[in-house]
Structure 1
Amino acid sequence: MTATGQEVPLLSARGLVKEFVTRSLLGLRKGAVTAVDHVDLDLYAGQTYGLVGESGSGKSTTGRLLQGLITPTDGTISLGGETLDTTHKDAWKLRREIQMIFQDPHSSLNPRRRVGAILTEAMLIVGEKDRTKIKNRVAESLEAVGFTMEHAQRFPHEFSGGQRQRIGIARALMVHPQVLICDEPVSALDVSIQAQVLNLLRGLQRDRGLTYLFISHDMSVVRYLADRVGVMYKGQLVEENDAQALYEHPQHEYTQKLLSSVPIRHPRERQERVEKHHETAHRPASPPRKE
């Protein structure tokens, strides 16, 4: 808590910008595409922030910036009030607190390595050398996602898609992070398997106090998990609100269009959606949040 009584965000981004530059064969700059355009974002401990938008909106790039997989063109990222500098030699000490679950559980796992080796690598990368501790952590992470040490001897191709995603989650848990960035973690899975993985994530959050940035284009999935939702459009965060408020009273026209694309389960919901749309259609759209 701050002196004003407001909760301090666990993970924050301010003025986050990412440009991808195109160059000629001679190395001269030809142009640039702004994938993320001055985004401000706050994640609070133990909560889930849903980041939604269509393909190309910049949401996955934002997640990769926060995790340190790519370097921002401008802006700052802080964890627990401490600025993350990707160029500093000790940056990994903070970066290990932020792990990622990738969209495709097939391509994100090395097909030539057994599951135990894949999980062990996560500990070796952060400098852990105690073999006993590593083995215990492998067993703990596998148990957390519903597996045993017997599964550590198998290769990824011996598992189904949902099981491979569980392995991806186990890998992210290996270093006991505070934040998990979930980049479309269920979009490549069958609907019946999606529910199992989502329930697993909720259980892990409850048991371990994890904080999630949940990136998705599926508004119904985000509604199930998120405490707060941000909507990205053309690299900008155009609307942000508590999940219930945003779903019931969307202010920005783009948010309204996203919600209208969600499949309707019952004809009565269609009428309710039309009425809500008329209520908000004439309201001025909220500009992107600035500080």
Structure 2
Amino acid sequence: MKRICISEFMDPVAVQALTPGFDLRYEPAWVDRRDDLLEVLDGAHALIVRNRTQVDAGLLASAPALRVVGRLGVGLDNIDVDACRQRGIRVIPAAGANARSVAEYVVTTAAVLLRAGYLSSAEVAAGKWPRPKLSEGREALGKTLGLVGFGDIGRQAAALARAFGMEVIAHDPMLPADHPVWAAAGVRCVSFDALLAQSDAVSLHVPLLDATRNLIDAGRLASMKSGAVLINTARGGVVDEAALADALRAEHLGGAALDVFAREPLPVDSPLAGAPNLILTPHIGGVTREANARVSMMIAREVRQSLEELA
């Protein structure tokens, strides 16, 4: 009987769907107990992870029978894809299953940051009344959302933003300017520099590669429109966190929201600590009840099918 190991949280219904016909080992705490995980992987044919389990050379060496890695999400930077390919191990991401959740996070957070009136609870509860300052918030209507990367998440975010009455522009070097998707989405294709200069809100949708590490650095933050807001649900290393904190403290940016960080969990001595007009969330942009159910069941079906094809 083929063994499946699951090292991080998975929707219980999807876990149950994998149980018949397999030796299923499910322990979400394995992500923090690597030695225990490596031990059980000896003899495992499939491994299902989220974004914290490091599927690296050491793990692969401990799993000689491994044939499938299922990723409960989209990004693959915690998985050595080349090493898996060389071993003939199929890597299966949950492409598209959580795009709606991320898109909703992006557009609603952009509206919250532009309005700038939702971070005053502590002041109001303390008896203060910052009404004059918070009356300067901005509507989303007529503002420009700039999307850096225009894949599935970007396209869904564009549709939601347009329903808010926002203009949407995007930059994606993988899509030629004459690609039909631009006209179909009602989105203008622009250069990266133009996007930063024109956008009231900038949202990042790129993988973490050598070319994108610290893509948003001090220079590019300075080139953004004064008062603009920045949202990152992609990968933490894409933004220079110290430079962002400086831009917020200098009041060049109107606000920012980060769901991902260069180090996760965020260190207590992070330069972001105490920065104004900043929303920090723990890598949950694509994690909702609905998205988790979709992602989990997609991976359960794909992993089951892959193992059955090996029989």
- TM tier, shorter chain? under 0.3
TM-score (structure 1 length as normaliser) = 0.27
State the structure with more CA Rg: 2
Q: Which has the higher contact order (CA 8 A, sep 6+)?
A: 1
**Normalized against structure 2, the TM-score is what?**
0.26
More strand by share: 1
